[in-house]
Structure 1
Amino acid sequence: MEEHQERTQQATPLKRKKAKEEGNVPRSRDVTSMSVVISSVLIFYLFGSYVFNEFKRIMIGCLSLHYGLEPMLALRNAFIEGMSIASFFLITALIFAFGSSVAQGGFFIKPFKMNLDKLNPIGGVKRLFSKESMLELIKSSFKFSVGGLILYLIMKKEIYILPLLTSMQLGMMVDKSSDIIMHTLSYGALFLLSVALLSYALERWRYEESIKMTTQELKEELKETEGDPMLKSRLRSLQREKAKKRMMQEVPTATVVITNPTHIAIALKYDKYMHAPKVIAKGRGVIAEKIKEIAKKHGIPIVEDKMLARALVKLKLGSYIPEELYRAVAKILAHLYT
């Protein structure tokens, strides 16, 4: 039966903790991609001139046989030196990628468990055409389309320079290439930043929806935690909200609403089959305003009587008015019926 209940309740701290232990955290791959590109832009901005000068030096050294007369040996030595410089980029990108992943969902190591269901070809086909897979396909198509358009616009602007690179001096060629790379990475970073923000917001929403609880789950968790104060408070709050909703649904059936006139409102119901008028809704402040709003919408009379309102608001919801208030309420009802 619990399976058919609607999940309308926000997850409790315990539910969130269990979800995190199971590896269920809001995490977007686009945020990781964005952090890698931004780290590259940052390094190019801070150390770009140094890096390109070093690569320029390696290229000049390779062409001037600085690394040896044997071509393969020279290439190997130049490659090793070049990788030692490039490794700085790689390590920084890895640090940014790891940091963005931890920032999104924290760091935890989940024990490996063999899931044979993933080897089921039928299940694989279902996952391939699932709602999540379709959403990922749309996201990927959007990213590649817009990303490709941005790259096209950049290259369209720089396309006339590319054939000239081969005729430039080595130093000028490297400098111009670095400008094009920096330009492309900067626009790419801005695009990925916007994609990452939207993607993370979507993942966060999907996560919150996936861990929502039914009312029954909330009650069972309360039992398991032996009356945890936070959960007790949450359940009481839920019960109050339900009671308030039921109370507001009764207002359209009221005979009259008594006010003081601004801070208190009490809805009374009376017919010939009742021995006395009944309090079907009451409240102060915002709730009082809501009662009056519903009463106006349904054409229910609203009567101002400060003393009577103060006396009625003390009564329990669903109770009949006491004898000492009969005369005051009867006067109002008599006036309405005449």
Structure 2
Amino acid sequence: MAQGESLGQERTEQPTAKRREDARRRGQVLKSPDLTAAVALLGAVGIYSMTGPRLVADATGMVSRSLSSLPTGDLTPGEALALFFEMAGTIARLGWPLVAVPAVAAIGVQLLQTRFALSWRAAAPQWERIHPGKGFARLVSGQGAFEALKTMVKIAALGTIAYSALRADWPRLLAGGQGSAGLLATLGGFVRDLWLSVAGAYLALAALDLGSQWWRHQKSLRMTHEEVRQENRESEGDPQLKSRIRGLQRQRAMRRMMAEVKRADVVLRNPTHVAVALRYESGAMRAPSVVAKGARLLALRMVQIARREGVPVVENPPLARALYRLVPVGREVPVALYRAVAEVLAYVYALRSRKS
């Protein structure tokens, strides 16, 4: 029983992409044996329609040659063995397309249904499949009843098709044709028409089967709220832990920025809303840089640190607002603000000169 079900939660959430992919890797995909059988039969009908006349002619020739080459007396073991190998080789040469083409078609449609997902886990022996108690539970479950009903419908449909085809073609089969070639051609046509009818029935059954499988598959993949949260934690991390990490990162960034205020040349303010700290090192920097900035409480904190450390604080609302809005921390001031910043720095350097 799943964890969500044990907690009394209902599976109301749509499956995530990860859950679908995990199910596909386990071999839990939509696939219908009826569709595979239908495609295999259609492949057999197609190859027989293309090679049927030649196949009948070659088979007739084989029978004629075999009958004409029989000795008048009893066959020796060696002669019987030689005749057997000759007929087996001819049958294999004539019939391999009727086996190979349906087999390739069946394998191809099976791979397409599973999207080329080869799951050894699905093919491996499982105790649940052979355990008598679990097997009986499957039989009496809703799924077992549905499979039993589907099997009975399939048997009834195929039996009806075979009976109808045989009843319709029985006079033609009895009449046969001129010689063995005519009989083989008549029999081949009957088998081809029967295969085509059976393939159509299998296609109809496959459509119903895939529809019911899709509904059951979607239902089995549904998730509880707890399973969705658990998967998100596994793939993206615990939201609480991520929030705590982001908080610690913000604190470290804040401490670094406050440390930069102590090394700044000047702090511009507006006068309570924003504050921007600038530093310029001649020869090491191409232009003054914004080393810290903040708004409201952070701006007041920057001003407090600057005054405590003896960093000049200059009120210049237009320049402070422009630098706060346009320049990220760690970037140089834009060319358009060079003149205004240069005037502020000149004022600060003049203050230093007078103090020294």
TM-score band by shorter chain is: 0.5 to 0.7
Partner of 2:142: 131
Shift of 1:21: 1.3
Distance 1:130 1:64 in 2: 62
Change in 2 beyond 3 A, CA 1:170/1:120: closer
Partner of 1:145: 156
Contact 1:28–1:200 at 8 Å: present in 2 too? yes
Shift of 1:128: 2.3
Partner of 1:225: 235
Change in 2 beyond 3 A, CA 1:88/1:66: farther
Unaligned runs of 5+ in 2: 239-356
Contact 2:41–2:199 at 8 Å: present in 1 too? yes
Counterpart residue type for residue 155 of structure 2: F
Partner of 1:211: 221
Partner of 2:115: 106
Alignment of 1:80-119 (within 5 A): 80-107=89-116, 108-111=118-121, 113-119=124-130
TM-score (norm 1): 0.62
Cα deviations across residues 297-324 of structure 1 (Å, max 9, x unaligned)? xxxxxxxxxxxxxxxxxxxxxxxxxxxx
Distance 2:152 2:20 in 1: 32
Counterpart residue type for residue 174 of structure 2: P
Change in 2 beyond 3 A, CA 1:36/1:114: closer
Counterpart residue type for residue 79 of structure 1: A
TM-score (norm 2): 0.59
Give 1 or 2 for the bigger CA radius of gyration: 2
Change in 2 beyond 3 A, CA 1:186/1:152: same
Partner of 1:79: 88
Contact 1:61–1:67 at 8 Å: present in 2 too? no
Shift of 1:116: 3.1
Matched, 1:57 2:67: no
Unaligned runs of 5+ in 1: 229-338
Contact 2:37–2:199 at 8 Å: present in 1 too? no
Shift of 1:114: 4.9
Contact 2:48–2:98 at 8 Å: present in 1 too? no
Shift of 1:121: 2.0
Matched, 1:169 2:173: no
Partner of 1:39: 43
Partner of 1:157: 168
Q: % of aligned pairs identical?
A: 23
Change in 2 beyond 3 A, CA 1:62/1:137: same
Contact 1:67–1:78 at 8 Å: present in 2 too? no
Shift of 1:185: 1.5
Change in 2 beyond 3 A, CA 1:66/1:197: farther
Contact 2:36–2:110 at 8 Å: present in 1 too? yes
Counterpart residue type for residue 55 of structure 2: V
- Give the match's secondary structure for 1:216: helix
Partner of 2:22: 18
Partner of 1:202: 212
- Give the match's secondary structure for 2:18: helix
Over the residues paired in the alignment, what is the CA RMSD in angstroms?
Answer: 2.4
Shift of 1:163: 2.9
Matched, 1:188 2:198: yes
Distance 1:114 1:93 in 2: 28
Distance 1:201 1:67 in 2: 61
Distance 1:132 1:150 in 2: 27
Counterpart residue type for residue 68 of structure 2: S
Contact 1:41–1:189 at 8 Å: present in 2 too? no
Distance 1:97 1:91 in 2: 10
Shift of 1:150: 1.5
Contact 1:67–1:77 at 8 Å: present in 2 too? no
Give the number of equivalent residue pairs. 227
Alignment of 1:228-307 (within 5 A): none
Contact 2:26–2:119 at 8 Å: present in 1 too? no
